[in-house]
Amino acid sequence: MLNLWQRFKLWASGQVYVGHRTRPGWSGSLPFYAFQCPVHGIVENYPHGYSRRLDCPLCQEEAGG
């Protein structure tokens, strides 16, 4: 859940940092961001690839990847 300040930053910049997280099997933590998916609304994920793009995890799941 985003607080009011985070919602404002999301609205202003399109993404907002929500903290570092570690998933099972990871050796360290990564920064996670909340951002607006046009299909699923506000979602969270970590930057992917060299360009550090934010991909909707729900869209990826639906696409089978």
Q: The whole model's pTM is what?
A: 0.87
Measured between alpha carbons, how far is 31 from 38 in angstroms, rounded to an integer?
22
Residue 65 has pLDDT above 80, yes or no: no
Query: Which has the closest alpha carbon to 16: 38, 40, 39, 32?
Result: 32
The whole domain housing 43 covers 4-63
Handedness of CA 48, 30, 2, 60 (dihedral sign): positive
Overall domain count for the chain = 1
The band of 1, judged by pLDDT with boundaries at 50, 70 and 90, is confident
Tens digit of pLDDT for each residue in 6-61?
999 999 999 999 999 999 999 999 999 999 999 999 999 999 999 999 999 999 99
